[in-house]
Every structure is written in structure tokens, then in C-alpha cells.
Amino acid sequence: MLLAWFQAFSFAPSHSFAADNQAEESDDELRQQLTERVDKRRPLQPTTIEIRGRPLTLSGNYELNLDNLRPANSRAEFGRRDRLLLDHGIEGEGFYRLSSQLSLFAQLHFAQEKDLHRGRIERVADHYVERGEMWLYDKNIGGSNFSLDIGRLQFEDDRRWWWDANLDALRISHETDNVEISLALAQEIASDRSDRSDIAPEQQRVRRLIGEATWDWRRHHTLQFLLLHQNDGSSREAVGHRLDNQYLDESDARLTWFGARASGAFDLAERSVIGYWLDTAWVRGKERRTEFDAIDAVRSIVTNVTQQSVRGWGFDSGISWLIPARYETRLYAGYAYGSGDANPQDDTDRAFRQTGLATNEAGFGGAQRFPHYGIGLNPELSNLKIVTIGAGLNILKSSSIDLVYHRYRLANPAESLRSARVDGMLVGKNVGSGIDLVLALEEWERLEFELSVSAFRAGSGFGEHAGKRSYFGFAGMRIAF
């Protein structure tokens, strides 16, 4: 029981490190080790085609999502206008083992995004093909415990607090019985979507060094060290320069994040389980900020350029209790802090910022991950104090339901949040509170459902909008084939 719960709670990493170093693995065992993902449903017996004596394994899924955003007052300058976004598409993938050492994997995603509300200038309606993971994997190079993969790789830490993204990269990994180490070099070489002719401006010529070391120092207890060095080498415009709006890039930075994570679980009397986590991170570096004014609908002009040092820190901590009741009740609480900037007028920004690759989706041991800082506000951990308490039930055989409450407060006074689903001018520290209800059903081999509803109540920090509520809803379905 403890092992199964610990794996669900911590979301053990998949392809971040080398696969199990057994010499005589079957093609199917290696495929599962390299391509298994927590949020990807695959059939137990996928389609296979024999090519040169080896199977090409083909699988895929259809996904349909509806995401609804209803601000407190869509006519006021608070929140965002009503949205009902339809996102659906088909993803296909293939795995082929070229030899005992070399393996190939590729994914393609055919998708549509559409805003079902009519008559909006900003209405979304996109059709595109997206390249997913596409890599060549070399296991146990030269008979060593080192493995290499190159291509479009998935980077995903256990809690998605550091990174959760596909990047064009080269990664080398080393694994022993209780230590796993990986080091990667990443830089986007082409657009990831067919509806975008070029790499996104914020990703242009951004080079990354990504490091991760995991030590299982005791059974069910893990210590991790994480590093990200990021250098933006994109062009830097001077005041007066004019450029198309599609190329606007407000920040060029050379930043380094470093930190550690401790996580684990204790098996108590009567099969009760206590789990814990602690993430810490520091960010250091230099940033160049560029301000623009619109000339017309398609072009802007650079009006100001400033430079500043960046020195911030943050942490995320929590505890979870699995009670051996009929439905395996889970109770959990967390506290997260991201430093703020007490003096915005000097040349040092002391506000913590996350890596830009994170999605902050842990899930608290339920059947599906969901934003652990709140589905409604869903903020980046920057200049914030976040208190979280929640409860969950593991229902049926493979399903769960969770009720989670969040309380948000600024670390230092600021006019706005760095990134959140609700916008608005802030005049005080009390940002507000939110509550989420999440139902995940995974009782079938090829089918799963997710339904979540959320409400955010603005705090006194939103001034005249204090007390107003914004509502959110999400429904998703995935079918594997």
C-alpha cells in the first residue's frame, strides 16, 4: 500500500533518466520504460507492425477539453472576458527499437482550438499540427551505465514545479541502484506548431543547461538537486527601433535557478501513511527589460530599455495524510512562498520567478494532476504567499475526488501579479481565496474523464472589486487507441 501511494503522490519520473539497466529487456518492456507518462493513457496491447524482424509499436489518443472562464464582471477591468474554449485533437505516436542499444520514438498532435463565444475580436480559432516528443535513444553507451537521447525531449520533474515541457535537446543520463543523474543542453531549433511560422519570441536563441540528480537515500525517501542555467541570446533592440508585434520580446535575461527537493512517505500504524515534500529554489542573474508602444495594429516602437539584477528565492512545502478508511481519505496542507521586491525603484529585482517551464501540477495523490496553486487563479509563484488545505477520496478502483482551498497574499506590495488567470490592479496585499472541486474517473483501459469547477473570490487588495467572484470550469475526455 505504501509503495503504491508513494508513487501516486510523488509521481516518479519517467524518461528523465536512463531506463532500467537489464541486458535482456524485451522491446515492449523498454518501450514502456521510455515512453510511459503519468498523464498519457495507452492501451495495454497497442498495434504492432513487423519491420526487419522488429516490431514498430503504434498507438494514440483522442482528447477533448472544454475550458470555461467567467469573470466576476466581464465589462469591468477585472479578470478577463468570458471564455468557452474548445480544445480537441488526435495524437499519434510510434516506437521502434533499431537494435539492442538504439530506439526511436515520435509523436504528432493534430489539434483545433476554438472559442465558442461568438462576436469577439480576440476570438480564438486555430488548427495546427504540433510536434511532440521525437528522439533517438542510445542505451548503455559502450557498455557503460551512461545513456544518451537527442531530439525533442520531455522534461518533467515530479511536481512540475521546475519544468514540464518538450524541448529540442541533447541529454546524457547515468543511473546506479539509488542515484540518477542527468545533464542536458537545450535550444529550440524550429517552431513547434504549424500555425506559427517561427519560434516564439521569448524562446528565440534561448540556450539552456538543465541538470537533475536524484538520491534515494532511504526506502520511500528521496533527495533531489536541480539546476537550470538560461541565456537569452536573441537580438536586442534600441530605443526608437520599430518591429512587428509578433516579434515583441519584453525580457532578455541570463538567469540561473538552483535548488533542492526532499520528498517521501512514512508508513505508520494501522496502514496509515504520512507524506511530505519540500521544494526550495534560488534565482540569480541579469535581465534586460524592453518597453514598447503600439504604432498601429501590427507594429510597435521601442520606448525604453532598462537593466537590472535578479535575486529571488522561493519554497513550496507540505504534508499529506492517507487515512485507512473505506475510500482511502487523503488530507493535505501546504504553504508556498515566493519572494517579492520591496524596492522596485532600485536596479535589483528581488522577486522570485519560476523557470518559465513549470506548470505547477501535483495532484496531491489523486488519479489526475491538477494545478496545485488553484485552478481559478493558477498563479506563478512570484511575490506570493499561498496557503493550501484540501481533502481527497480514492473512489471506485482507479478514480478520485478532491476539494481544495487556497488563500493568496502578496509578499510585498505590487500593482499586479506576475502571471495569473485573473487580472486586475492591486492596491493591497490581500489577493483573495479560491476553492476547487476535481473529479477524475479512470475505470477503463482506454477511456478517462476529468471534471473540475473552481471559484476565486477577490480580496481587499483588488480595491473596488473586492469580494467579487470569478468562476471556472473544465471538462476533459481522453480515448486511447
Question: What cell does 215 get?
Answer: 538520491
Eight-class DSSP state of 19: P
Strands, E assignment, 298-398: 299-323, 329-338, 348-349, 384-395
User: From the CB of residue 259, how many other CB atoms can be counted at a distance below 10 Å?
Assistant: 19
pLDDT at 120: 55
Cβ partners under 8 Å of residue 108, min gap 6: 91, 92, 93, 129, 130, 131, 132
User: From the CB of residue 233, how many other CB atoms can be counted at a distance below 10 Å?
Assistant: 12
Longest Cα separation, the chain: 70
- List, run by run, the mean pLDDT of 10-residue segments along the chain (481 residues): 44 39 64 80 86 92 90 49 85 94 96 78 74 95 90 96 97 94 97 90 94 96 98 87 87 96 90 94 96 91 94 98 89 98 95 97 92 96 98 94 98 95 93 98 94 96 94 95 92
Question: What cell does 419 get?
Answer: 502571471
Residue 146 in contact with residue 172, Cβ under 8 Å? yes
Q: Is 410 exposed, middle or buried (0-12, 13-18, 19+ CB in 10 A)?
A: buried
Question: What cell does 411 get?
Answer: 509578499
Question: What cell does 296 get?
Answer: 498601429
Cβ partners under 8 Å of residue 375, min gap 6: 434, 436, 438, 452, 454, 472, 474
Question: What cell does 169 get?
Answer: 535537446
Strands, E assignment, 157-220: 164-175, 179-186, 206-218
Q: Are strands 299-323 and 102-115 parallel, antiparallel or unpaired?
A: unpaired
pLDDT at 409: 98
User: From the CB of residue 400, how many other CB atoms can be counted at a distance below 10 Å?
Assistant: 24
Helix/strand/coil percent split, the chain, to 5: 5, 55, 40
End-to-end CA distance of the chain: 30
